[in-house]
Structure formats: C-alpha cells, structure tokens
C-alpha cells in the first residue's frame, strides 16, 4: 500500500508532504500502508484515499480487475485521464493555463494566458500568489500543487484541436 500511496502522490498529489490515509468507504476504517496489496485488494473493492487534512483532496480507488503481469516495476501505469478540456472562463475560446485560487468557480477562476494578464491587474492576490498552473490532477489549485513527476507528457494543459 506504501507503493500505491507513493504512486498517487507522484502522479497527482504531492505538494508539501501532507499526511495521507486509505480508508474503507462505509465504516471509514483505516487501512494501514504497511499492509501488502495482496492482502487488501480484491476485484470490486473500493477504497477512499485522502491526501492532506486541511486543504484535502479525496480520491476513490476501485479495483477493476486483477491479472498476472511479469515486471520488475512496483507499479505499471496502464492508462490515465487525458488533460481536461477546459476553456477560459472569460473569453470562452482559449484553453486555460492558470487558475486563480481566490476567485471561485462561479465568478470564473480559470484563465487563458491573455485573460490571466488582465485578471492580474484587477486581482492583487492573483498577481502575488494566487495564480496556480492548470495541471491534469484532482489536486489542481490546492495548496502549492504544480504538477506530477510521472507521466508528465499528459500532465499538461489541453490543446484545442
């Protein structure tokens, strides 16, 4: 379970070494990271995973299938989500590159490069610290998160095709 914890941090979460925990969805029992995956996982199992406890990001893990693979790697990435197809909240035309963590979703917090420059003039926090990069992660815009360290080709801004 330690390897899975590390993998999730590497691809989606690690910002400043927050605590994390696996728990069961209904009873919220903690699943110790010292346990071996063989003794925890079975087909159909769902587990909650929390990263950080103040600015927390929660994931739901599902064991979809199991089959034997010959490898020396601890974890092999078979597939992942593509970059999110978000367009700028202001101009609705260009892909977003920056998020303002002060302005919430309803007011519009996702900006393309050009609109971000305009927003920086109106929003003092944005020009100082509240501008965060758009990345392919559920931890985007949380704490100091700036992207993962594995599969970084797909940890990018979506490009309008």
Separation CA 86–CA 2 (nearest Å): 33
Which residues inside 51-90 make contact with Zn ion, applying CB under 5 A?
Answer: 88, 90
Q: Can you say whether the dihedral through the CA atoms of 117, 121, 125, 128 is positive or negative?
A: positive
Nearer to Zn ion, 47 or 143 (CB): 143
Q: Is 9 in the site for Zn ion (CB under 5 A)?
A: no
Nearest distance, CB of residue 5 and Zn ion, angstroms = 15
Which residues inside 19-58 make contact with Zn ion, applying CB under 5 A?
Answer: none
Query: Residue 110: is it exposed, middle or buried by C-beta count within 10 angstroms (0-12/13-18/19+)?
Result: buried
Contact with Zn ion (CB under 5 A) among 4, 8, 47, 100: 100
35-61: b or e for each residue (b if 16 or more CB lie within 10 Å)? eeeeeebeeeeebbbebbeebebebee
Q: What are the tokens at 64? A: 């979809």
Contact with Zn ion (CB under 5 A) among 99, 123, 131, 134: 123
Contact with Zn ion (CB under 5 A) among 98, 103, 139, 147: 103
Q: Name the site residues for Zn ion (rule: CB under 5 A).
A: 15-16, 88, 90-91, 94, 100, 102-103, 112, 115, 123, 126, 143
């Amino acid at each position: 379970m330690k390897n899975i914890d590390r993998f999730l941090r590497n691809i989606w979460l690690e910002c400043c070494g927050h605590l994390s925990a696996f728990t069961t969805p209904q009873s919220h029992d903690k699943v110790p990271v010292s346990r071996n995956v063989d003794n925890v996982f079975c087909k159909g199992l769902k587990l909650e995973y929390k990263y950080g406890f103040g600015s927390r990001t929660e994931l739901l893990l599902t064991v979809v299938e199991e089959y034997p693979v010959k490898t020396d790697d601890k974890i092999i990435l078979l597939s992942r989500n593509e970059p999110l197809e978000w367009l700028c909240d202001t101009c609705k035309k260009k892909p977003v590159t920056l998020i303002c963590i002060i302005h919430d979703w309803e007011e519009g917090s996702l900006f393309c490069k050009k609109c971000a420059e305009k927003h920086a003039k109106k929003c003092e926090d944005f020009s100082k610290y509240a501008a965060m990069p758009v990345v392919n992660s559920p931890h985007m815009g949380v704490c100091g998160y700036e992207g993962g360290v594995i599969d970084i080709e797909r940890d990018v801004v979506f490009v309008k095709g």
